Structure 1
Amino acid sequence: MQTPACSEADDATATDPPFDVFARACPSRETLEHVTGRWGSLTVGALREGSCRFNELRRRVDGVSEKMLSQTLQALERDGIVNREAQPTNPPRVDYELTPFGAEIAERLVALITLLEERMPEVLGARSAYEAAREGR
């Protein structure tokens, strides 16, 4: 079965979704990457707890570089997932928070994170079994 091409709603038939993340050129694929990439998912998850300044986020998302966090926040802001609010103070203060769309994404993402954390004993067991089987070859 052929995957329908990503198209605007007026180009799609009544049964085809207007956007298809499986289609190479569909812009939803880029947004999915922004949300599910390592830094995007951790940033969205961290912002679920409330608005943060840049350095607060950097400390919360352990291991992210300043450059990667900046690029991640820009991509999430561009996609309408994060809101950036600059305060005209000296020094300037910039706060980041989730938009309503971002909060909806975070809710679903945190459910996945929780599932993974709860099931890590199984994952670690599977990894050990996999490595043991590969060593026995």
Structure 2
Amino acid sequence: PYDDVGRQDRFISLPNGAQMLEDTAATLETPDFGRRLALLQGIDILGPVGLAGRNAATVADAFMIFEKFMAAYSPSITARVTPHLDPELPRFEFEFLLDPSPPQAQAIELSLGVTLRVLRLFLGAAYR
């Protein structure tokens, strides 16, 4: 549904969105398209889930909100915080629940880039 691009009243499924990112990267001959797009997006892309996270008391609380409500943003994405051997280093994971799994390199890079921007929002621009 390329006709749905830019229409706020339309829903684009995650598989179609992932395929559209792949097609765009190929058409534009821009293999880093997902990373470039991430530079233009941030927590606001998550809608109400992002708004709730932005207003959380702590970074940990924000990521717990993402874990609990990510399905409201997209039922095909899970987010979770898992423990690490060092309790000071919890791990944030996200997963696309797509079966069959379409090509999604651009969607993954976009998601990682947006996650980095969210972390920099919470922890400061110097976060690496």
**TM-score of the superposition, structure 1-length normalised?**
0.28
Which structure has the greater CA radius of gyration? 1
Tell me which of the two structures has the higher relative contact order, counting C-alpha pairs closer than 8 angstroms and 6 or more residues apart.
Answer: 2
